[in-house]
Chain A
């Protein structure tokens, strides 16, 4: 049996994507993890690695076609396996009429059939009761209000939360085909993408939550006609903008946000950077900024307050993640992406700078991998690059919090000994899910981050 190559899930809220180009042709041999195709989603452009080594026997989705996540787009026949590609049997033609010499129907037949009707009716009323009495177990508040009876039955039989499925019917309705595709994906899908942080991945809620899909789909498919005045211009948002819009709306609606701010004295780091930045770049081949320092400090903060690295689940549990995978917001020409630096706490400051540089490079050249976009547990955001001094970020679902670092600016500060000094100051703004944390926990975390950042002396060992 050839191995199906599924369209990968690239980013939390991505439900569909486009095959931009095939890098291999049918019949070509591919190594495991060798790039098969370029894929484009709302979030990112990426290369799709082959799940197995073998021959690309069939391209199922041509270039430029958009398909739901999980769709099989190609078949790769592993070495040694048979070469035939199973094709779905198409509709057969009608059977021919029989030439049976049947007996004339007995006169009493109508009586019998009337009785059968009555029996049928009583059976029906029983069935109807059963349907009515069916509890709406597991129905989420945001669940689609209109679901076909078949979809509901299949979901019940297979234990599926319909909110996890992106519907392709009118208005995002989940159809039979969607459920069958989902089941197939559930059976085969996980093998295709080797998620580095299994725990983190499994905890991410479905990409296509009701609200999300309907918002994005509604906006994409059937925008309400708007009246445009003479002094106005209409801009149709691209897919990435729509995806961000949808994700932000969902995040904001899901988590009650609270934001708290601390002020950090970054003077020691600023001076170190002034002295060492050029030298560091020359020596290492990549640059270093405030960001890896903050990331390092965030890892320490998470060690002190592990609850900040968690998710609130739909069944009201808090899942605390043991590994720290920091998402880092990177602005690109086409919009904001948040690649992940896995196990960020395992790196030195220089190591973080290096990883940061790598993902930023890949993001800006559209070379992010599937793994780059998966499994983040906490996001560090850096609007300060653009000169902001105070930000209130929106949590990236399903995280518990997000940290914004604003511009490091020189300010007159009253010091411990009541003198006024010029210091390099920065605000750190933490938006947190108030279901998980209260102000005290958030502040404790911020204090830990600040303490770390302010702990440096004139000499900093970044290795």
Chain B
């Protein structure tokens, strides 16, 4: 058995689910003949045929709209956004159709919308987005963001089997990262939605994070341990909706200090909700302000040095963590 990349884990998950359940099918721009912009679905057309691997016109409204319709008819579509930035074109189909369907009709809507998100690949303002906060705010859709290869496969399988609309955000910087190569279990497995995981244990503060920032936080925690003797706990949320409040709260009750790190912009981001939740429910357990490290309130820049400055990195996380630890 060989170690696979984050990207290959995603590909494996879709392929295995399509083999397992005939109602699962894939649709999106270039997913067929071309094998997907990032080659997630390479070879799928040959294996599953054009009825289950559908090349669509360049219209996210159409892709998501068709997927919603197919799900209503009992299928389990996986709609790929070539870059997640363009999910905004299908926003109405998600927010007004997919998210409200169960409330309106009582009919389950098993739909997965997936696509590459996140910066660091010099994609500029139209090919880098972190759109999670828009959907995190919207009731009726689950939002998932894996950080590791194991989770990428397990969470996607869980998402495909879920009877609700799930937005599955892949961080494209992680797609082929050599250090994320991992040997995956040969047997079928899922990672349940709504369960966070503690990636590193510590007692001085909790870092709440998800996606690619998990790795930045782990590096920062390592540096803080060796240079400052600080034991930092890193919690990978994995699912933003449903949010694993239990794990978050238990960690904060142990460490009493919280640093929230996300790649998305600061204002109104997921971190704001986490901060509000902790302030409301764990006020008596806080030994310092709830602090956040996030991107500035601006679109992703194109220029590589600017993008480097824009993305939260180890240096900034360490600096803010020190400030919080000393508080």
Decide: A94 and B200 in contact? CB cutoff 8 A: yes
Q: Is B65 an interface residue when CB atoms closer than 8 A count as contact? A: no
Q: Is A120 an interface residue when CB atoms closer than 8 A count as contact? A: yes
- In the complex, chain B residues whose CB is within 8 Å of the CB of A95: 197-198
Which residue, B150, B193, B284, B287, has most C-beta atoms of chain A within 10 A?
B287
A window 79-104: CB within 8 A of B: 90-95, 97-102, 104
Provide the bound-state CA to CA distance between A3 and B204, in Å.
26
Q: Is B19 an interface residue when CB atoms closer than 8 A count as contact? A: no
Decide: A107 and B256 in contact? CB cutoff 8 A: no
Q: Is B202 an interface residue when CB atoms closer than 8 A count as contact? A: yes
Known pairs A93-B201, A94-B200, A95-B197; A101 contacts B163 (CB<8 A): no
Decide: B140 and A110 in contact? CB cutoff 8 A: yes
Decide: B163 and A169 in contact? CB cutoff 8 A: no
Decide: A94 and B198 in contact? CB cutoff 8 A: yes
Least CB distance from A249 to B in Å reads 26
Decide: A97 and B327 in contact? CB cutoff 8 A: no
Q: Is A198 an interface residue when CB atoms closer than 8 A count as contact? A: no
Residue-wise, chain B 312-327 has the 8 Å CB interface mask toward A (1 for contact) of: 0000000000000011
Q: Is A201 an interface residue when CB atoms closer than 8 A count as contact? A: no
From B163, B191, B231, B242, A90 is in contact (CB under 8 Å) with B231
Q: Is A149 an interface residue when CB atoms closer than 8 A count as contact? A: yes
Provide the bound-state CA to CA distance between A398 and B96, in Å.
72
Residues of A within 8 A of B (CB): 90-95, 97-102, 104-107, 109-110, 113-114, 120, 124, 127-128, 131, 148-153, 169-170, 173, 175-176
Provide the bound-state CA to CA distance between A423 and B242, in Å.
94
A-B contact list, 6 entries, CB within 8 Å: A97-B197, A98-B192, A102-B192, A104-B163, A150-B284, A169-B288
Decide: A151 and B287 in contact? CB cutoff 8 A: yes
Decide: A170 and B327 in contact? CB cutoff 8 A: yes
From A105, A114, A124, A131, B164 is in contact (CB under 8 Å) with A105
- In the complex, chain A residues whose CB is within 8 Å of the CB of B327: 148, 169-170, 173, 175
From B139, B158, B202, A102 is in contact (CB under 8 Å) with B158
Which residue, A92, A114, A149, has most C-beta atoms of chain B within 10 A?
A149
From B164, B187, B286, A110 is in contact (CB under 8 Å) with B164
How many residues of B are in contact with the other chain, CB < 8 A?
43
Known pairs A91-B203, A94-B199, A175-B327; A100 contacts B192 (CB<8 A): yes
- In the complex, chain A residues whose CB is within 8 Å of the CB of B132: none
- In the complex, chain B residues whose CB is within 8 Å of the CB of A110: 102, 139-140, 164
From B164, B188, B190, B286, A149 is in contact (CB under 8 Å) with B286
- In the complex, chain A residues whose CB is within 8 Å of the CB of B85: none
- In the complex, chain A residues whose CB is within 8 Å of the CB of B161: 104
Residue-wise, chain B 116-157 has the 8 Å CB interface mask toward A (1 for contact) of: 000000000000000000000001100000000011001000
Residue-wise, chain B 193-219 has the 8 Å CB interface mask toward A (1 for contact) of: 110011111110000000000000000
Known pairs A131-B284, A148-B287; A107 contacts B102 (CB<8 A): yes
- In the complex, chain A residues whose CB is within 8 Å of the CB of B242: 109, 113
Q: Which residue of A lies closest to B285 (CB)?
A: A150
B window 252-269: CB within 8 A of A: 256
- In the complex, chain B residues whose CB is within 8 Å of the CB of A170: 326-327
Q: Is B90 an interface residue when CB atoms closer than 8 A count as contact? A: no
Least CB distance from B287 to A in Å reads 4
- In the complex, chain B residues whose CB is within 8 Å of the CB of A120: 281
Residue-wise, chain B 274-286 has the 8 Å CB interface mask toward A (1 for contact) of: 0000001101111
Decide: B154 and A114 in contact? CB cutoff 8 A: no
Which residue, A97, A100, A150, A176, has most C-beta atoms of chain B within 10 A?
A97
- In the complex, chain A residues whose CB is within 8 Å of the CB of B193: 105
Least CB distance from A181 to B in Å reads 14
Q: Is B306 an interface residue when CB atoms closer than 8 A count as contact? A: no
Decide: B163 and A105 in contact? CB cutoff 8 A: yes
Decide: B162 and A148 in contact? CB cutoff 8 A: no
- In the complex, chain A residues whose CB is within 8 Å of the CB of B102: 107, 110
Decide: B225 and A91 in contact? CB cutoff 8 A: yes
Q: Which residue of A lies closest to B323 (CB)?
A: A170
Least CB distance from A10 to B in Å reads 26
Complex A-B, nearest 6 residue pairs according to Cβ-Cβ distance, in ascending order: A150-B287, A104-B161, A107-B108, A91-B231, A99-B189, A153-B284
Q: Which residue of A lies closest to B190 (CB)?
A: A102
Provide the bound-state CA to CA distance between A106 and B202, in Å.
35
Q: Which residue of B lies closest to A171 (CB)?
A: B327
Provide the bound-state CA to CA distance between A169 and B324, in Å.
9
Decide: B288 and A148 in contact? CB cutoff 8 A: yes
Given contacts A99-B189, A105-B194, A176-B256, 11 further A-B contacts (CB under 8 A): A95-B198, A97-B154, A105-B164, A107-B163, A109-B164, A110-B102, A131-B283, A131-B284, A148-B287, A150-B256, A170-B327
Least CB distance from A333 to B in Å reads 36
Decide: A91 and B287 in contact? CB cutoff 8 A: no
- In the complex, chain B residues whose CB is within 8 Å of the CB of A101: 188-190
Decide: A114 and B139 in contact? CB cutoff 8 A: yes
